[in-house]
Amino acid sequence: MPSFPHPIASKLPHVGTTIFTVMSNLAEQHNAINLSQGFPDFDCAKALRDLVTKYINAGLNQYPPMAGVMRLRERIAEKTETLYGAKYDPEHEVTVTPGATYGIFTAIATMVRPGDEVLLFEPAYDCYAPSVEVNGGVPVYVQLKYPDYGIDWNAVQRAITPKTRMVLLNTPNNPTASVLSGEDMRMLEGILRGTDIVVVSDEVYEHIVFDGHRHQSVARFPGLAERSFVVSSFGKTYHVTGWKMGYVLAPRELTAEFRKVHQFNVFVTNGPLQHALAAYMENQDAYLSLAAFYQKKRDFFLQGVRASRFKPLPSRGTFFQNLAYDAISDEPDRDLAIRLTKERRVAAIPISVFYREPPPHKVLRFCFAKSEETLARGAEILCRI
């Protein structure tokens, strides 16, 4: 192919390949235990796979409704009401999307105009800033406080300007594994009262909260729910990250605008998978038991690294465990992550990739959505470092 004969004014000049792709490729190349990218190394339930086959064989293979299969939207609305006490109308307030990343992007594309400011918390999950920038928005950052990664609400208040259009929240949080409290939510509710600022609340790990704590969805807080797009993902909940299936909840007026963009961005989300998920969601235990399932894995991994020189930071939710390595090396985290993958055959994510400038603290993120065998092998290596 001849090369494009003009200079390209990139809309994302600073963006390269995501760290998840970089580290997973490197892990594969070096046959390393891959605790970097967040995905399970075990399969989803057979019952769920059987349902997909069933609906494909039943011939449900043409375009489903634009906003999603009604039966699935109803199950999502029921779940949200049971867990968070918030009523979303499946007809006008629930939209099924091809994953959460898409839901976040489309909510931003729907609401953010050139020059609008979007408040992000740093470290920030990697898709947030590029999604804001490619839509002409300006990310404005508030730092999470190391080592608990809590939010300084005075700093949030100070960061809000007449140009603020959106606040992007993420709880449970990737990469910090922190979770917001009810008090946090009430602080935000108070700060936003009387403004027209909207919230995108990334809650993909809503079912993975540990130690008896409750997930504080924005849906629980009327002053937030009325201005929020709540985004979730079936990928995390049912061990199917490769399916790219999720949903977005928002009040009717916001959903109407969201769907204007959605219908020309993707139009519809995979049909047979929606039918399968609708049937599978009737089994509430599958998501209600998820926290205990992952807490056991977190504790297994923590037990495994207890004798190592890595220092665990709190992991209150998600399937990530951060380990500080101050006692081991002065190296930048990216260098260490690459070296550990190549030389020790264990891969992790350097936390600095979620910052604009590398932070002073030395932390690697490890994914424990893995079999006990994988976790034991990974932990054993870490104990020798």
DSSP track, 86-155:
----HHHHEEEES-HHHHHHHHHHHHPPTT-EEEEEES--TTHHHHHHHTT-EEEEEEEETTTTEE-HHH
Number of residues that bind ligand PMP (CB under 6 A): 14
Candidate residues 99, 272, 304, 350; the one interacting with ligand PMP per rule CB under 6 A:
99
What minimum distance in Å lies between the beta carbon of 74 and ligand PMP? 21
Q: Which is nearer to ligand GLN, 37 or 308 (CB)?
A: 37
Whether the Cβ atoms of residue 317 and residue 209 lie closer than 8 Å to each other: yes
DSSP 256: H
64 binds, among ligand PMP, ligand GLN, none (CB under 5 to 8 A by kind): none
Cite the DSSP H helix spans in 160-284: 182-192, 222-225, 234-237, 252-265, 271-280
Neighbours of 136 (CB within 10 A): 13
Count of Cβ atoms closer than 10 Å to residue 130 Cβ: 16
Nearer to ligand GLN, 177 or 197 (CB): 177
* Residue among 172 and 378 whose Cβ is closer to ligand PMP: 172
Q: Distance from CA of residue 143 to its chain's centroid?
A: 18
Least separation, in Å, of the C-beta of 240 and ligand GLN?
13
Q: Give the whole-angstrom CA distance, residue 165 versus residue 211.
A: 35
Per CB under 6 A, the segment of 10-18, 96-104, 111-119, 186-194 that binds ligand PMP is 96-104
Q: Counting contacts by CB under 6 A, is residue 34 touching ligand PMP?
A: no
Candidate list 68, 137, 235, 378; residue touching ligand PMP; CB under 6 A: 235
State the DSSP code for 173: -
Nearer to ligand GLN, 22 or 69 (CB): 22
State which H helix or E strand residue 165 sits in.
Answer: strand 164-170
Nearer to ligand GLN, 18 or 181 (CB): 18
Measured from the CB atom, is 80 or 308 closer to ligand PMP? 80
178 binds, among ligand PMP, ligand GLN, none (CB under 5 to 8 A by kind): none
Residues found near ligand PMP in the complex (CB under 6 A): 38, 99-101, 125, 170, 174, 202, 204, 233, 235, 241, 244, 246
